[in-house]
Amino acid sequence: MIHLKSKDEIERIRECGICSAELFKYLENYMKEGITTKELDRISEDFIIKKGFKPSFKGYMGYPSSICASVNEEIIHGLPCSRKLKSGDIVGIDVGIQKKGYISDSARTYAIGNISPNHKKLLKRTESFLYLAIMKIKAMVEINDISGTIEDLTRKYKYGVVYDYCGHGVGYKNHEEPEIPNYRFPGGKRKLKPGTVIAIEPMINMGEDGQFVLDDGWTVVTVDGEYSAHFENTVAVTENGYDILTINPDDLKSILQKYSNGVVED
């Protein structure tokens, strides 16, 4: 069942989402060669707690950390560890933020030092896919309009699709109904009512379709070792369109402006 959220509840989720946006900005200062993903986890957890929030991933289904940090061929759910980041790496940071029973979910992928032109494109395009999919949202949008937008763009740029992990409803729990895959699916004819809150999260592979999970039981990696990027926002479906809850309202206008012509940033 999809739990619709009231305007008031959406504001509670936005409070969490703005904390995540501030965290992502703060982390830019630390995304340098030599830092470990464990240090990034510690820095993020301290930031979240100091602001009066809680990391919602920690302890969720036994997850040990406050963030997921997925490096290079790691797609999602990378476990923070003593690995030192080096120039040329890309690192996806995914964070759930909770306060008084409300949760936001968002992710960004950062470049460390100098990354290759193809990886730069992968990051810019994956972020574009996220926003172009969000811009399809309005009251009674079909899930496949969102999912299909991401699938078509993935194919257009000859990237690989991740099948086993999806966007999802969010707000009271980390994962709620409905599923929002990054490809069309039979259940995707379902229409979303105003008050539905979803995390949209394209995970885009440079190489082949698919993924597998490492022996640690968490880290999802590409089949061929090619890099993968991940961007995610929590978004509410509204009467008139969409409301992105994990972006600082001051930044929103310029971001939407950037994508208003419907073209992928290259």
Contacting ligand MF3 (CB under 6 A), which of 54, 77, 108, 136?
77
Contacting ligand MF3 (CB under 6 A), which of 24, 47, 53, 57?
57
Q: What are φ and ψ of residue 253, in 5° steps?
A: -60, -45
Contacting ligand MF3 (CB under 6 A), which of 9, 45, 89, 94?
94
Told to check if 179 binds Co ion by CB under 5 A, we report no
Tokens 């302890």 belong to which residue? 59
- Interacting stretch for Co ion, rule CB under 5 A, among 6-14, 19-27, 43-51, 105-113? 105-113
Q: Interaction with ligand MF3 in 169-228: which residues (CB under 6 A)?
A: 174
Contacting ligand MF3 (CB under 6 A), which of 3, 51, 60, 173?
60
Q: What is the DSSP string of 111-158?
A: E-SS--HHHHHHHHHHHHHHHHHHTT--TTEEHHHHHHHHHHHHHHTT
Residue 169: in which H helix or E strand, if any? Answer: strand 167-169
Told to check if 105 binds Co ion by CB under 5 A, we report yes
Let me know: does 80 contact 41? Beta carbons within 8 Å: yes
Contacting Co ion (CB under 5 A), which of 16, 90, 199, 206?
199
What is the spatial distance between Cα 14 and Cα 197, in angstroms, rounded to a whole number?
Answer: 11
Beta bridge partners of 160: 205
Choose among 159, 203, 157: nearest CA to 180: 203
Told to check if 74 binds Co ion by CB under 5 A, we report no
Specify the residue, 115 or 229, whose C-beta has the smaller distance to ligand MF3: 229
- Interacting stretch for ligand MF3, rule CB under 6 A, among 6-14, 43-51, 57-65, 155-163? 57-65
Residue nearest to ligand MF3 (CB): 63
- Interacting stretch for ligand MF3, rule CB under 6 A, among 54-62, 84-92, 119-127, 248-256? 54-62
Let me know: does 176 contact 196? Beta carbons within 8 Å: no
Question: What is the nearest approach in angstroms of ligand MF3 to the Cβ of residue 95?
Answer: 8
What is the spatial distance between Cα 178 and Cα 43, in angstroms, rounded to a whole number?
Answer: 32
Residue 91: in which H helix or E strand, if any? Answer: strand 90-99
Q: Which residues bind Co ion (CB under 5 A)?
A: 105, 199
Q: Which residues bind ligand MF3 (CB under 6 A)?
A: 57, 60-61, 63, 68, 76-77, 94, 96, 105, 168, 174
